[in-house]
Structure 1
Amino acid sequence: MSSSDIFIGETIGTAILILLGGGVVAAVVLKASKARNAGWLAITFGWGFAVLTAVYISAPLSGAHLNPAVTLGIAIKDSDWSNVPIYWGGQLLGAMIGAALVWVAYYGQFHAHLTDKEIVGGPGAQSSQAKAVEAQEQGAGPVLGVFSTGPEIRNAAMNLATEIIGTFVLVIAVLTQGVNDNGNGLGTLGGLMVALVVVGIGLSLGGPTGYAINPARDLGPRIVHALLPLPNKGGSDWSYAWVPVAGPLIGAAAAAGLYNVAFA
């Protein structure tokens, strides 16, 4: 596959992944959404279907990595780093596009949510500048969870360990079961298996941190959250942003190392 195919495939696939995955979170948490309060099961299965859809769309072009951690694991397994920057670039761009599309699709719901006095407080309580300063001090704003993950208990070591473990499970599953005959990405049955693994990780390991298990999935939408003109959106929690990037990359490297020792 060519470099242009890889970049286009990863951009499209990751955009679909984030559109559907972020979309299910928006549907569950935002006011004036028909799916509001549908719960964690809806979110975990929504993300699983998002993975499945994105894989089937992008696999013919790029092998459907859709995740820098998966790309890293495959690169370590194969000792081939030549296309890693292309994969990562497409994944980050696609994640940002997908997050922007969630904002477009739920524009009215974002506005209703972020202008609700029960959620953001009554008018006139503080100046807009004071609110902005407070939002940065508080970290995550009231809709950041639609875009990026955050911990229920903020402890860097624990949160990092959770992301490492979850991504380890994902990448070892990809390397042992999901990679196609060419070794460069996910095949049809592999895509189905990985989608089910993502659901399983969400149900079993998603509670502590929201299971980013994908650096682009977290970083790209977090950047979009910081840039979008959302009223009363609060902070983007940049002090936490390194955890869902470093944790998945460490977990992927550990999974690839185990694969090369035990399975290769």
Structure 2
Amino acid sequence: MNGFIGEFFGTLILILLGAGTCAGVNLRKTYGTGSNWAYISIAWGLAVTMGVYVGGALGSDGHLNPAVTIGFAVFGFFPWGDVVPYLLGQFLGAFVGAALVIIQFYPHFKASPDEASGNIVGIFATRPAISSPLFNFFSEVIATWGFTFILLNLGDFTQGLKPFIVGTLITVVGMALGTTTGFALNPARDWGPRLAHTVLPIPNKGSSEWGYAWVPMCGPIVGGVLAAGLQVLVA
């Protein structure tokens, strides 16, 4: 139960701060409208840092990410018996975090009448800069592989200053590899908020783009499993 609680609140914080940044950048009439990619990458890095601290303090390993949980479990770095509670916490936490962002920015969604004004599903979920499904998939595999492989070599990343190291890792992955697909790296980070965008009453919302959603689900999981497999081979 501690694993579920830690992952739920850690992922909630991750999405509240991360998707909140995207809302502030994209929607009209916020003080952050139009900020650049570096701003977004740094903010997502800090969002992960704070989520890992919360998750670790509440009794989980601070994965906040099904690609990490599944990849670790496949190669024995994490017990299979804890996988389902972790995944439930991650997806539910992401959904609730997105719901809080909708409440926070509700007047700004109303002030942003269409995609041209920044009211896009990309506030909550990822979408590719160039739609090329196979290469979008490869982008997510490569980015998540690099992220997870480095993570595996950090040891217990919930302790001391290590969550900040994880945050800087997210930031550099976002700056280096995230400009192609928005660097989901994390199926819960994408599908939980995408579902919130689909079912909750957001003013002026457009398509939730579920036709693309297989990429941020499958790509990160494959990348996480490949990273854990490599770790077994070389460690």
Cα RMSD of the aligned pairs, angstroms, is 1.6
The answer to whether the Cα contact below 8 Å between 2:27 and 2:119 also exists between their aligned partners in 1 is: no
Find the partner of 1:165 among 142, 145, 155: 142
1:164 partner amino acid: V
Rounded Cα–Cα distance in structure 2 between residues aligned with 1:243 and 1:73: 17
Point out where structure 1 has 5 or more consecutive residues left out of the alignment: 121-140
Establish whether residue 18 from structure 1 lines up as the match of residue 19 from structure 2. no
How far residue 194 of structure 1 moved from its aligned partner, in angstroms, is 1.2
CA offset digits 1:174-229 (Å, max 9, x no partner): 1111x31xxxx633333221111100010000111000000000000000000121
Which stretches in structure 2 are left out of the alignment for 5+ residues?
A: none
Which of residues 188, 191, 216 is equivalent to 1:219?
191
- Alpha-carbon distance in structure 2 between the residues aligned to 1:47 and 1:7: 22
SS of residue matched to 1:113:
coil
Alignment of 1:82-161 (within 5 A): 82-114=81-113, 119=116, 142-161=119-138
CA distance in 1, matches of 2:163, 2:189: 17
Asked if structure 2 preserves the Cα contact closer than 8 Å seen for 1:168 and 1:251, the reply is yes
160-169 or 229-238, larger mean C-alpha shift = 229-238
Q: How far did residue 76 of structure 1 move?
A: 2.6
Identity %: 43
Opposite residue 142 of structure 2, the aligned amino acid is I
TM-score, normalised to structure 2's length? 0.95
Aligned residue for 1:81? 80
1:51 and 2:48 matched: yes
Q: Cα distance 1:107–1:142, how it changes in 2: closer, same or farther (>3 A)? A: closer
Contact 1:65 1:186 in 2 (8 A): no
Quick one: distance in 2 between partners of 1:41 and 1:76? 34
Cα distance in 1 between the residues matched to 2:217 and 2:122: 16
Alpha-carbon separation, structure 1, partners of 2:196 and 2:188: 12
Larger radius of gyration: 1
Between the aligned partners of 1:262 and 1:189, the Cα distance in structure 2 is 26
- Deviation at residue 38 of structure 1 after TM alignment: 1.2
Distance in 1 (alpha carbons) for counterparts of 2:75 and 2:45: 25
Normalised to the residue count of structure 1, the TM-score between the two structures is 0.85
